[in-house]
Amino acid sequence: MRIGVPKETTAGERRVALVPESGKKLIQAGYQILVEAGAGAPAGFPDASYSEAGITLDTDAAAVLGSDLVLKVNPPKSSEIAAMAAGSIYLGSLMPLRNLPAVRALAARRVTAFSTDAIPRTTRAQAMDTLSSMANIAGYKGALLAAAELGKYFPMLMTAAGMVPPARVFVIGAAVAGLQAIATARRLGANVFATDVRPEVKEQIESVGAKYVGIELKEAASAGGGYAKELTEEDRARQLELLAAQCAQSDVVITTALIGGVFAPRLVSADMVRSMRPGAVIVDLAADGGGNCELSRLGDTVTVHGVTILAPLNLPSTMPLHASVLFSRNLTAFVQAFTKDKAFQLDFTDDIQQGAAITHDGEVKHVRTRDALQKDET
């Protein structure tokens, strides 16, 4: 069975779906690997490193995309889907609810598409979870961006000129990205506060060095699998009061909130920004999902009311080497888990395949995506 790894064609993307160390493991499992020439170079993996690992290189993107199993980082474009073989398998981060046209095209092409961001968050599936791997990088880099942009130190310093107090950082959302942002800001010496609509994460927030601030919810906001759901109107009003008070006191606000791990709720209003200290910084890590801050300009940095607002897109791509290594390991773990007799075996009775399968045999299998497509068509 042949695995194909094409170049990523999304603007600004520097990651690659398979690095040489993972390619070796798949060759040992019995696969043939075909990588498009130059695919790994932006991430720090030259063609020679693939050749040394026994991986075949090809300059023909169509030949690579025509493989039995295609590994990608980003959702495939229509031209890429057209080059895929009917009955082939796609594996990557499809983000299906954000990329409905790609889902339609994959189904029409009769490609079996697995989206790693839809993998259930279970102990068995942890090694395959690209969403967590990439969120970890985003949280780390987001804290560094905030520290670089803020016009003051993060840590408390005792100097000959006197004491410098620590910066106050407020992190909204305590899933993987939020927890990593907290941990990184703490390592840099900031005084960190954090909140989440899921009160059960209070322990996790405190375990990485932040002080938890939250409200008593009238209705549970956990959607399961480490995700949050929409709040009731009453709870949302009380949450916004809390956010306004914390933002006004903070030097840095880092937002990471996503509903169901997909779309970003608007949490930081223009009025909240106006109330913040001059020189304060907001890093909107939910920009890929639409942004948590009302004044964010997605993919750009703006200054409003004296507050600098960063809304970076695709932060993992700014650390392409380690992002590629982790992404590649996730995909490899997925493939290895379902390999038998030197081939990938479809098994939709398995909870991981069942959760991650978006399209198969011309149909959309993923319920939330199917509902979204039906709604989009009406």
Would you please indicate which residues are annotated as catalytic (active-site) residues?
121, 126, 129, 132, 227
Closest C-alpha to 358, from 178, 90, 163, 17: 90
- At 213, the amino acid letter reads V
Q: First and final CA of the chain: distance in angstroms?
A: 40
Name residue, tokens 């650390």.
319
Name the helix (H) or strand (E) containing 168: strand 168-172
3-state secondary structure the chain: CEEEECCCCCCCCCCCCCCHHHHHHHHHCCCEEEEECCCCHHHCCCHHHHHHCCCEEECCHHHHHCCCEEECCCCCCHHHHHHCCCCCEEEECCCHHHCHHHHHHHHHCCCEEEEHHHCCCCCCCHHHCHHHHHHHHHHHHHHHHHHHHCCCCCCCEEECCEEECCCEEEEECCCHHHHHHHHHHHHCCCEEEEECCCHHHHHHHHHCCCEECCCCCCCCCEEECCEECCCCHHHHHHHHHHHHHHHHHCCEEEECCCECCCECCCCECHHHHHHCCCCCEEEECCHHHCCCECCCCCCCEEEECCEEEECCCCHHHHCHHHHHHHHHHHHHHHHHHCEECCEECCCCCCHHHHHHEEEECCEECCHHHHHHHHHHHC
Which residue is associated with the tokens 């506060």?
193
318 within 8 A of 293, measured Cβ to Cβ? no
| CA–CA gap between residue 360 and residue 347 (Å, rounded) | 12
Rounded CA-CA distance 40/129 in Å is: 21
